[in-house]
Structure 1
């Protein structure tokens, strides 16, 4: 008399389904989603990704566009001196200070390449033969003289830079003189990262 009929007896499958539904409902309430929890089939379908895109040409175009945008972002970050996009040789506060130190001053070396090119072009002008040798000799003397001035200027600048770095950081990184000198002999508009300080400004 106390036995239930077969139609009223709960099966293990129904019990498991009810427990799963209750668990999902509890998770939904706890997380405060405010929306229905996706079923297992929906989650599996969302996780499926085709190994080969349906439209390969469109996928290649999209990949090229993403690569171009990333390159432009990296180039802009490098030009702005963003540490995330700098190569190893440009990273660090001392390298940043060295760049600002160089960019804040006039350097003899930044005029080296334009002057050398201009003087070499002078030697190709159609001078008379008796004057041409004299002009070539003077050009060679000026080029070497300007080169020596550049070396002296870089040595002086390197010494001042190292002193400032030691005052600010307690020590100077190895190779920072060479790093600053290589920047000093570049034309200001061509320096990379781009100058972040005006001439005459004091590097911070």
Structure 2
């Protein structure tokens, strides 16, 4: 407090005298006042244009990380609706199976083409395909969810199955495999253990 301050040469000589220890910090602890001053920022930025640009760049970077996670299945940057062990289990189970619901879009394109044919037999085929496929897909998806729920309960316990998980599984089952996001990481028939 009352002593003289050390010169730069004296500080360097003192640092050279104390060898660097492995696993140690090897520097003095900064004062709280210095740490707070380093963290201090204004509540409202003075240069709004620069702040908006920085915010946009940060948001763009976050979206890019999230998009990459959707392609690779990286759990850290996935959106909240896709995070967690149970969601991964549901995704892997749905992606491992062949389901009727995933073929609805291609069949509906055929139905659309047949609907332009103004023949009674074509209308009968359109009617049977549309309603039969919808009924079969709903029943198949319902039975799939019951199996997934049973396996989820066995693996993670009753508390792990949350409200909305069935809808998550159904929506994934109704998408064509190529268009599913996050992308499938398991092959067909490779069910989760």
User: So what's the TM-score if we normalise by structure 2?
Assistant: 0.70
Deviation at 1:83, TM superposition (A): 2.7
- Whether the 8 Å CA contact 2:94–2:169 is kept in 1: the answer is yes
Q: How far did 1:32 drift?
A: 5.3
1:138 maps to 2:125 = yes
Tell me how far 1:90 sits from its aligned partner. 1.5
Match of 1:107, SS?
Answer: coil
Secondary structure in 1 matching 2:162: coil
- 1:194 correspondence with 2:183: yes
What corresponds to 1:122 in structure 2? 114
Q: Offset of 1:70 from its aligned partner?
A: 3.7
Q: CA deviation at 1:79?
A: 2.6
Q: Supply the distance in 1 between the matched residues of 2:49 and 2:78 (Cα, whole angstroms).
A: 33
> Structure 1: any 5+ residue segments left out of the alignment?
1-15, 34-45
Is residue 75–residue 83 contact of structure 2 (8 Å, CA) maintained in 1? Answer: yes
1:151-177, Cα deviation, whole Å (9 max, x unpaired): 111111111111111111122513322
- Structure 2 residue matching 1:22: 3-state secondary structure: coil
User: Which residue of the partner structure matches residue 185 of structure 1?
Assistant: 174
| 1:1-204 → structure 2 map (5 Å cutoff) | 19=4, 21-22=5-6, 29=15, 67-124=59-116, 127=117, 129=118, 131=119, 133-171=120-158, 172-175=160-163, 176-204=165-193
Query: Structure 2 unaligned runs (5+)?
Result: 19-24, 28-37
Higher Cα Rg: structure 1 or 2?
Answer: 1
What is the RMSD of the two structures over their aligned residues, measured on CA atoms? 3.6
Shift of 1:64: 5.9
1:8 corresponds in structure 2 to none
Work out the CA distance in 2 between the residues paired with 1:80 and 1:183: 17
For residues 22-80 of structure 1, what are the alpha-carbon distances to aligned partners after superposition, in whole Å with 9 as ceiling and x for unaligned? 398569737757xxxxxxxxxxxx99x9x778xx9999888766654443222102332
